[in-house]
Amino acid sequence: MKNVIITGSSGLIGSACVEKFLKEGWSVIGIDNFAREKLFGTDADTHGNLDHLRDEKNFTLVEADIRNNEVVIPLIKDADAIVHLAAQPSHPRSLEIPMEDFQINAFGTLNLLELTRKYNQEIPFAYMSSNKVYGDYPNYYNYIKIENDAYKRYENTALDSFDEYLPIDGCGHTPFGVSKAAADLYCQEYAINYGMTTATFRGGCLIGPHQKAVEMHGFLGFFTKQILLQNKLFVYGGGYRVRDNIHSSDVADVLYHWVTRPEPSQTGKFGKTYNLGGMRENSVSIYETIAAIEAKSGLKADFEEAPERESDHLWWISNMSRFKNDYPEWSGPKKNLDDIFNELLQNWIDLLHLDIKLQNPDYFRELRK
């Protein structure tokens, strides 16, 4: 039985990866210091995300910081793979805590890479990066507003989606984007000049039932919760902004594909970068999100326009052609927008003990025929 270390194992993607690797017959060591509650408050506490797995004989949860070498080194020595997901995940929060953001995202990743190089260099090392490594460079493109029965959004006049050739410098990032870019580049460096087997996955909006959404991170889950509770929402920078969303189980599937069959670059070395997202079929604007939650819940949203956040994307749709070319057996995300919204709504309805019955289960499919 192979052993995988999953850092940030109690988080949205971490818990999905724990489930995926256990299902595939791996032994899983989860590492988490449960810092999300400290960063974002009690609503963000992730302790409960792994409760349903605590009795799994092949799962061990280690409550520790990834910078605690005394704990981490023995685990790395016995590992067959590392999936590194631990992070400070919010770009607006990083503006308030730039030093802590760097320590967690950049130094934490470098520390894991160096320990892996020293003690178990041959194993695959998958790193969950972010599309924020591209900063606000996507905003340099021209956009038009589309408003019809199916869409109310910005649309890029030049590109259908963004691939990995988008520049990462000459633009604003926030400290979060910088720390994730540094970690991303270190992963590439440890492959190119130290010979390690690494890859980075530049995720966009990642969503699923275990997301402890807060205003500073996880807009889709947060919007769902606020509308169900009939609380006011603030739409930062206008509602025409577009994001593609990918379900946590689909992210775990992508990472599992790579770990079990790492692909080098054209130079024969590793350190490959992959954009990771729901692509065009799972893209949605803020206004479209609000409309969908209203239609599916039967509730009216109370929202107010608010100033734009620093270095925020106007429009992001991921191009996953590189991953599809390397892994042709991967057929794309299994969860569509209706699946994602229906699950989120039902999950919050259950958690909040609300007497609401879901409506329009095929809302997006019917709307965009």
In the chain, where are the structural domains located?
3-367
H or E stretch covering 237? none
| 212-216, 238-242, 274-278: the lowest-pLDDT one | 212-216
In which band, very low, low, confident or very high, does the pLDDT at 350 lie, cut at 50, 70 and 90? very high
The count of other CB atoms within 10 Å of the CB of residue 27 is 18
Q: 221 near 12, Cβ under 8 Å?
A: no
For residue 34, the model assigns a pLDDT of: 84
Q: For 87-132, give the DSSP string.
A: ----HHHHTT-HHHHHIIIIIHHHHHHHHHHHH-TTSEEEEEEEGG
Structure confidence by residue, pLDDT tens digits, 119-173? 999 999 999 999 999 999 999 999 999 999 999 999 999 999 999 999 999 999 9
For residue 263, the model assigns a pLDDT of: 86
Structure confidence by residue, pLDDT tens digits, 320-330? 999 999 999 99
Q: What class is the 3-367 domain?
A: alpha beta
| Cα within 13 Å of Cα(119), Cβ side | 19
| 30-39, 175-184, 331-340: the lowest-pLDDT one | 30-39
For residue 35, the model assigns a pLDDT of: 78
Check whether 232 has a pLDDT greater than 90. yes
In which band, very low, low, confident or very high, does the pLDDT at 217 lie, cut at 50, 70 and 90? low
For residue 53, the model assigns a pLDDT of: 82
| Cα within 13 Å of Cα(310), Cβ side | 14
Mean pLDDT value across the chain: 93
Average pLDDT for residues 354-369, to the nearest whole number?
Answer: 95
- Paired sense of beta strands 233-236 and 303-306, if any: parallel
pTM: 0.95
H or E stretch covering 350? helix 337-352
Alpha-carbon span 37 to 122, nearest angstrom: 34
